[in-house]
């Protein structure tokens, strides 16, 4: 399994956007739209897990996430692993790649928003805040040292 760090000029950019659009997770359509509309700029990246020429999953490292008006940055977001690849800690490999890249950029902390309980904690994330998302649900903001 190989993890690739992508920006909008990479040949896999549109391929990953299509994969996100057609994946089983409804947030994938949001990521696909953001990728196709070039919402990622500067140092922001999409990380794709590749099994040969097949996409197995993805995540992002971006300036913002779904919670408005907070000072936290950067965020790991859109963590998704295809059903046939689950159970092999691929999400951890994607997250570690994003954390390593954030460290290269000299960020000392990285954040993640989720409503999952006892998922990201096993990867070393700690709850630092809780905010209401634009869709009305309460979301936890987690932090990890880069």
DSSP string, 74-143: -EEEEEEE-GGGTTS-HHHHHHHHHHHHHHHTT-SEEEEEE--SSSGGGGT-EEEEEEE-TTS-EEEEEE
Break the chain into its structural domains and give their ranges.
2-107
Answer yes or no: is pLDDT of 125 > 90.
Answer: yes
- Band the pLDDT of 100: cuts 50, 70, 90: very high
CATH topology for 2-107 is Aminopeptidase (3.40.630)
Answer yes or no: are the C-beta atoms of 17 and 35 closer than 8 Å.
yes
Answer yes or no: are the C-beta atoms of 47 and 97 closer than 8 Å.
yes
- Cβ neighbour number for residue 31 with a 10 Å cutoff: 25
Distance of CA 101 to the CA centre of its chain: 12
Amino acid 146: pLDDT: 83
Q: Record the pTM.
A: 0.94
Average confidence (pLDDT) over 80-105:
96
Average confidence (pLDDT) over 100-128:
95
């Amino acid at each position: 399994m190989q993890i690739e760090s992508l920006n909008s000029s990479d040949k896999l950019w549109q391929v990953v956007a299509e994969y996100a659009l057609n994946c089983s997770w409804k947030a994938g359509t949001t990521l696909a739209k953001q990728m196709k509309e070039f919402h990622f700029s500067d140092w922001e990246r999409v990380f794709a897990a590749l099994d040969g020429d097949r996409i197995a999953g993805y995540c992002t490292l971006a300036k913002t996430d779904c919670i408005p008006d907070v000072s936290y940055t950067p965020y790991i977001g859109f963590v998704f692993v295809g059903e046939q690849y689950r159970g092999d800690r691929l999400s951890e490999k994607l997250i570690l790649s994003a954390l390593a890249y954030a460290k290269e950029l000299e960020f000392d902390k990285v954040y993640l928003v989720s409503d999952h309980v006892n998922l990201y904690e096993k990867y070393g994330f700690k709850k630092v805040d809780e905010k209401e998302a634009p869709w009305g649900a309460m979301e936890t903001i987690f932090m990890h040292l880069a």
